[in-house]
Amino acid sequence: MNAPLRIGLAGLGTVGSALAGLIQRHGNELAIRTGRPIAISGIAARDRAKTRPVDLSAARWFDDPVALARDPGNDVFVELIGGAEGPANESVRAAIDAGKHVVTANKALLSRHGVALARAAEGKGVSLNFEAAVAGGIPVIKTLREALAGNTINRVYGILNGTCNYILTRMQEEDLSFAECLAAAQKLGYAEADPTFDVEGFDAAHKLSLLTAIAFGTEVDADAIYVEGISRITPADFEAADELGYRIKLLGVASRTESGIEQRVHPTMVPKSSAIARIDGVTNAVAVDADFAGQLVLSGAGAGGAATASSVMSDIADIARGDRVGTFGRPASHLEPYRQAEIRAHEGGYYIRLAVYDRPGAFAAIARRMADKAISLESIVQRRRAPRANAPGHPVMAEPQPVIMITYETTETAIREALEAIKADGHVAGDPQMIRIEQFG
């Protein structure tokens, strides 16, 4: 049998510990499948004294991950530290400079520096693999980069953040508020103490930027993604969605258009009959529309130590076998400059919820503003609230009435301009709610 593949592992959190356990548990089978033993030869982590569920006494300890990355005693550097800058970035660059293969689960690093790192790896003749950076245990990178190499991809979309999907699922099924479901997610460890990165869509955007680069052969540009989170979604929106035959999901969508690549992350109403609508809880799903293979939907655990370690191991196994593919499915020198499509030119149907003051002329003014932008309405639903009783001797106050409108296909520019005009007219309270409708199969 060939010489062992020696792993330098930086980061012993949930994923790093799970990876070490996987290698120990399945070591014999991995050696048979890859043609060589796989062993952890060096480790870098913050706390050497911490008790861990695996025996790592045979590995050398490094206090500095950059020193581990440069150490000649390992062949592959596995970065599980996290973060776009600092030790993660420095150690990955050091490993590539030292001529070592790199495996990472770091979506933030790759969304910011992925193209430069890919070029550096290509120049050194080493692999830069990142299956675990998107959708946890789902093999979506390998599917796009290898299994669909003979296809032109027209669209890739999916549920890319388990925290948001858990919150939206509970809001839908239990008629709870966003705040209540977020608190539950934090208690279960699905959401951080500061959940902004997840619930405002930035985590999903980083992942989408990597899928876009592979699917369309473009350079990574996370800053070009339109991002909108889920914090403004209310139980009223779920009630309306249910009555109209939809479910609400936070989706990342990347599409090939005539004017460029469109990338967007936002809450979306999808038909209840669609495959993506049935993905609940912390599960992730990615759908791909390809010209020859048709539509593929992959779903599974989007996070967690075991699932993510499984994806990291698949990258290590490729290196052990000598399989090498361009970081983004092609040589870095062949990645096209990213050409952004105008998000406000996006066409589709829209759900709009307004709190309209019940007074003469209000509905006529709203309809006129819609007509001014050539927006056709498929349906209008008004839900009457009971008047609010005030203190004795004071008149009963009329509250703004919820009005829900569904539009036929129109542009986002038209919708936003119409809503700005409606708000300026003074017939509505608060900000209008707008959710895009996608007719996914």
CA distances from 70 to 8, 73, 77, 93, 303 (A): 10, 9, 9, 10, 29
Sheet of strand 128-129: strand arrangement: 60-62, 38-44, 5-10, 76-79, 101-104, 128-129
The closest of 268, 285, 275 to 233, measured between CA atoms, is 268
End-to-end CA distance of the chain: 48
CB under 8 Å to 180, separation ≥6 — which residues?
none
Catalytic residue ranges = 207
The closest of 166, 158, 169, 162 to 285, measured between CA atoms, is 158
